A and B are shown apart, each in its own frame.
Chain A
């Protein structure tokens, strides 16, 4: 019951907003933020409950020739993705207050809250049909937010990239899902271990799953939708997409891909490892050449998430379990960076690093917060980014030394482009409009602060998260870790 409360609290809040007059912006803001906060608090209760936060509920849903059930679950794998979603959503919904004009505020908050529900639904779905429903459904709020709420022709064009790329991925996944269920006759595929598929069949179905996951994350060479979306989407939207939605593909790989297709994951690992390393290097090199600060962070995401692909397909218990830490950490850092860059863009009116700079002089608090997020992104010890990267590199080195060595290069490059970003915004002579108010307002500080606190917390005590996940991995992926390619 509680688990459904977490999933649907944002949606209920969104529906509640429809009953508030469009002009009552204070009430709209209050209700939306309260809804997001309540969702976060509800999700926290799973940390304390027995059995490491596990909760499971299953209700029969469709009983045709193929069975499907409304099956939701929170276990040690899903818990941290749920927490990431609810925490980042609070910040994003709070941040949205200043981005929507009054006439459009209600729709804006409605879509953000609906988006949160689709993400929570995705991270808790234990039935393949339910999972697919959320997988596709999450495209809609983002598409509408890009088209209607970004106020730029570039964002409206980016909406097409987003919809068509991710729609294509979703439909390929649908083919795979149907082909799989044609064998199992039930969408409850996780219940009975890996399905007995013929070698070629498993290979094809996993390929369709992997393609969808690669597009959603995204990974090289399926990333073309990402730079325009990340660059032009409204700040709260991109913070949620980069912070949370980009974890969907890798989460799905852990929750469905590895347990369902142990042999095919092994067989296809060489290809996916090459794509992972390409993502890592290409993302880092592309980030180096960017003048647009949001595009720069977009490419850095490509690089960082490539590292997680490497971690998963290195099939080492350390790296696979550290991937969850890395994903959560990247979600926090990316969300914080995009929110802060949104504040900067709002003040200086441009994203071009060559055009402005030197904000540190006038905005020391902005500098302090930006420093934490940026250092987290380049993997400074003591912040969450370091812990994840370090464990992944240690783990991957055991089985894939060559690829890991190449990936190390990207860690060096990350230092360069993150410092470029940081110095471009904050250092050098002040070149922004000197009259403008450049310092962060208290609301802006408070909304980013929890994300930064979490980055610190996970950096200082990674074991808090990492010690809970091996069980999740053993549930989800031991079959894949032990399987032989076929």
Chain B
């Protein structure tokens, strides 16, 4: 008996291979030259992102399924990959200010970030349940360690431990759910889910529910969100930024692929998802009201934003996918920008995670404060920002005539109103006059400035001219036709 060799399309895998090579180079440089500075190691990281993006260019608009159907490089995953690489590059820029005593060697930190992102790219292209699980585990394992790299601070150790314990539990749900799904349709391929989904067999429903619980945890959707505030607060700033953006981007790719593969149209089984979305919007926005630590605030914000993005799945149609991609991109630009300002001002410390540090900031550092205001306005959905057009797209999808759609639209609007206060509070503090002494001098390093500028550019350009984003993404460009 001969075993047929697995056909491998190296073109499809090239971006991940290139990025992995970058990771290996980082490790080698770190090993061979103990004195290699952060700048060099993170520089290699940024270059690997650019190289991996270059490797993605030949894939633009193409659709390749490889590794016996386990992995797909298509127009859909292209945008997710681009967003992940963008997030990774910005995370490196944000990390550049971390102090040597922050714990962990910069080499392992950089390599872990890279491998974490590769996990995300596997998730974005995963076409069967095994690949999904592999991607999620690679992403999560690297992140467990990264959460603890601020280990001189106790809260970072605590974050890492909590993340491992709760994350493994979620992985358990995920793998058990996958097993039941396999039992329901007898195949690991996502495409095979459709048959079982059509009949809604008990095995499928149980498997899908457990699978959703696992993904809900990774996305920090309510009621699986309780880990997020502590872990966001404890992790180093740049890691928190990556958690808030990178993990969401990759996991939403999985959620979308599974839902679209299984249902292809609206289904009663998705009601659970709509309920989760509504709960997340409320929990995230109400929870953020009382936060005075910006990392915790961003944790609750990310819960709410994840709830908004789930609305994009309503109706399970093509417009939904483009709305999801647009909203994720808007979210990536604004969130990375906001964390960029925190990193920039804190100059390697976490001091600007505290709301009080922002009091009267605008009149001392007008530019960072003005850009911070821009990012928070975008998160709140104020017009002329990317976040606003994202919300228009989501509301458009919610109004498809179903009662759940209307309920989600109303909750989205209500959540947005609450978020006016949440995000407005930060802006209010920056513009309110200071009584008492001025806060300590704050940083002005170039690397985080680049990240902030990139975030601001995306936020404004995609807000004023959303069409430009459509034109640049293969999936959306095809949808617009």
A residues sitting closer than 8 Å to B (CB atoms) are: 61-66, 103-104, 107, 129, 132-134, 136-137, 139-140, 143-144, 147-148, 151, 156, 159-160, 163-164, 167-168, 171-172, 174-175, 178-179, 181-182
Q: List B residues 358-391 near A (Cβ within 8 Å).
A: 362-363, 366, 373, 377, 382-384, 388
List the A side residues contacting B409 at CB < 8 Å: 175, 178
- Which residues, 85 to 140 on B, are CB-close (under 8 Å) to A? none
* Least distance between B388 CB and chain A CB atoms (Å): 8
* Stretch of B49-57, B214-222, B426-434 at the chain-chain interface: B426-434
How many Cβ-Cβ contacts under 8 Å join chain A to chain B? 84
- The distance from the CB of B241 to the nearest CB of chain A, in whole angstroms, is 25
B396, A178: Cβ atoms under 8 Å?
yes
Query: What string of 1s and 0s marks CB contacts (under 8 Å) between B404-448 and chain A?
Result: 000001100100110011001001100111000000000000000
Instruction: Please name the residue on chain A nearest to B476 by beta carbon.
Output: A64
Cβ B392 vs Cβ A148 within 8 A: no
Please measure, in the bound complex, the distance between the C-alpha atom of A168 and the C-alpha atom of B377, giving whole angstroms: 15
Q: Give the distance in Å from the alpha carbon of A137 to the alpha carbon of B384 in the complex.
A: 8
How many angstroms from the CA of A61 to the CA of B383 in the assembled complex?
A: 15
Contact in complex: B424, A175 (CB < 8 Å): no
CA distance A109 to B54 in the complex (A): 45
Q: Are B413 and A182 in contact (CB under 8 A)?
A: no
Task: With A140-B382, A147-B431, A164-B420 as known contacts, state yes or no: A175 contacts B413, CB within 8 Å.
Answer: yes
Given the complex, which residues of A lie within 8 Å of B417, measured CB to CB? Answer: 164, 167-168, 171
Interface, chain B (partner A; CB < 8 A) = 319, 322, 362-363, 366, 373, 377, 382-384, 388, 392-393, 395-396, 398-399, 409-410, 413, 416-417, 420-421, 424, 427-428, 431-433, 465-467, 470, 480
Q: Which residues of A contact B393 (CB under 8 A)?
A: 64
When the two chains form the complex, which single residue of A62, A64, A133, A178 contacts B395, counting CB atoms closer than 8 Å? Answer: A178
Main secondary structure of the interface of B (DSSP, over half): helix
Cβ contact within 8 Å between B432 and A178: no
Q: Which of B363, B383, B392, B467 is within 8 Å of A137, CB to CB? A: B383
Contact B363 A103 (CB under 8 A): yes
Q: Is there contact, CB below 8 Å, between A129 and B392?
A: yes
Contact between chains at B396 and A65 (CB < 8 Å)? yes
Nearest CB of chain B from residue A478's CB, rounded to whole Å: 30
Min CB gap B94→A, angstroms:
26
The answer on a CB contact under 8 Å between A148 and B433 is yes
Interfacial chain A residues near B420, Cβ < 8 Å: 163-164, 167
When A62-B467, A178-B392 are in contact, do A147 and B410 touch as well, CB less than 8 Å?
no
The contact sample of 6 A-B pairs, CB cut-off 8 A, is: A134-B383, A139-B382, A160-B428, A167-B417, A178-B399, A182-B396
Which 3 pairs across A and B sit closest by C-beta, in order of nearness? A148-B431, A133-B383, A147-B431
- Distance of A205 Cα from B193 Cα, bound (Å): 40
- Chain A min CB distance to B403 (Å): 14
Known contacts A61-B467, A151-B433, A175-B410, then 5 further A-B pairs from the complex at CB < 8 Å, ordered by chain A residue: A65-B319, A66-B396, A137-B382, A163-B424, A172-B413
Contacts of B432 in A (CB 8 A): 147-148, 156
Q: Which of B363, B392, B424, B470 contacts A143 (CB 8 A)?
A: B424
Cα distance, A329 to B363, chains bound together (Å): 38
| Chain B minimum-CB-distance residue to A148 | B431
